[in-house]
Structure 1
Amino acid sequence: MIQRIYHIKRALPELFELEKLLEDGRQHIRVSVPTHIPQQDVQLPFYVLEMGSDAPLAPTLALIGGVHGIERIGTQVILSFLRTLLRRLDWDPVAHEQLAQIRLVMIPIVNPGGMWHNTRANPNGVDLMRNAPVDALHKTPFLVGGQRISKHLPWFRGKKDAAMEDENIALTQTMEQVFANQKHCISLDCHSGFGSKDRIWFPYAKSLLPWPNLAEAYALTEMFEHTYPSHDVYLFEPQAHSYTTNGDVWDYVYDRYCQHQPDGLYLPLTLEMGSWLWVRKNPRHLFRYHSLFNPILPHRHQRILRRHFTLMDFLMSAVRSMPSWAPASVEEKAGLHRRAIERWYPESLHQP
């Protein structure tokens, strides 16, 4: 039985809503709490939700939000998707059939302490997306790429040689557990705040060079764009096209996955919702730090909550059907890799 912490409803409405959904959907959701994050007089739970198949080798899709506490809209998008999915399960046999074929994992609030304080970093002042033990292979932008100068400056990585923050330990260990022995998996980490276009990023954040699974990323991109030609809200690209960083958690999880499962396929994706468009449409966003990362007008907020349903539903189908669309032969992968290079690295075609 979920014990809701009523007195934090105002500070953390997303946690309050999540726990209400856990109660409503308890017959469909398997819940675990690998850690708690201390905050004042409460222990904030780090919730991990599982739905669908519990078979050890079930294709797995993970939806993650709230890594940066200020970017509440990422958590809200996942909760909105979860709410709709639970209501579909009340009447839709297709939803039951779809879930029976995959394992769906959700971690809606990775950084509950940061969300409590409405800050990007966790309560220790550490940016969780700069905190993994990964050093960039190419030059990173000053501060933005991760810094160890001070926790009072943004993008603080944490002290050198220190262990990862508790939130990241729980996140990465959970990912390793749910992906263990799994050959087909995708994750989507929901963020906001960069650019005026919604982006779907894939690794590496640490390197300007093409990612080893570039061919598979291209196949997924082409499949989405061909299937939903009118849903042209996303720019699919390597993250390093925007900027490189140290300490990227998904670089770390991906590299660990490849070490343990070299024959598997894992595609870590990041949804970066372009909040600059919200600012451009409504300059009032400039006067509140919170509104730089989250829509404030009710109609725009509702539009963002439903905007990404198509993507999440697509990923549920895509992870289930990975064997049918991922390149199966060396020749097929090489062909897709060439087309990916033409799309994302055209300048390399003209280099001697």
Structure 2
Amino acid sequence: MRQGKPITPEEAGRLRSLGLAVIETEAAAISSLAARIDDDFARACSYMLECPGRIVVIGMGKSGHIGSKIAATLASTGSPAFFVHPGEASHGDLGMITSGDVVLALSNSGETGELLTILPLIKRLGVPLISMTGNPGSTLACEAEVSIDVSVEKEACPLGLAPTSSTTAALVMGDAMAIALLETRGFTAEDFALSHPGGSLGRRLLLHIGNIMHTGDAIPKVSTDASLNAALIEMSSKSLGMTAVVDGQGDLAGIYTDGDLRRTLDHKVNIHEAGVSEVMTVNCKTVVPEMLAAEALQLMEENKISGLLVVNGRGELVGAFNMHDLLRAGVM
């Protein structure tokens, strides 16, 4: 593997200073946006909330990259949206925009040729146009029903050429819109998970205990009159680090865990002679199959326990699981 050329402390210091200057410049650009969360911002959000179709985001170059990300954020937070490249829109993709949509157009200059070319067609459709531009007096801003000002004092690029602060400001304003819409729509964590079923977040928010618990003969279980030795054999054979203890009617009477075993040994109890009911934990914590796996994980972490028994609405033992099951399911 090739290694970078060693640099002197002076060179390292200069690189750090340059990086810090960029962060400071962009932070100032973001800070200046606070004053622009105004009535125009609220009107833009209102158009999107009332949109019966989709939010169509358009932009060229770096604005297009930012627009694509804004569209993705909107779509994943409850506001149906997609990105259309304005160059392609002039060659057929404009048909993707319908009269029930809202268009959000991004251009730092507000004079991007590809955008201005399709403005008359957007107007002809009667589609509300929201602009996000760094030039409030531009053609795009003047043609829009609502114009959001994302101008910056300066780019972080020392040449003032590479879009840096301006794209960051547009991205942050897009996030502000998306989250304002999310909150107003009452979009929930479960709604979010439904649009992310393949990721770890989806697993955390959609997976229920009933999906991962051990059931039937795989549940470690002994009766209240069983010996402690028998309980340990059951724990070892089922490999969950615990066993349920049930009474003659099959109702849950308690639990015996690896932690209980350590405490039993500390008290010098004869494991070959004692009964499990003498050393089990009564009134143990249980969960129901309908509980989210992520909630069960939080319960286990708060109580410093590594396994739980699962009961149904009648309090009957129906399952068991431990931390390893949560780990395998991708909840941790």
The two structures have a TM-score, normalised by structure 2, of 0.28
- Structure with more contact order per residue of length (Cα contacts < 8 Å, sep ≥ 6): 1
Q: Report the structure, 1 or 2, having the larger helix content.
A: 2
Q: Which has the larger radius of gyration?
A: 2
The two structures have a TM-score, normalised by structure 1, of 0.27
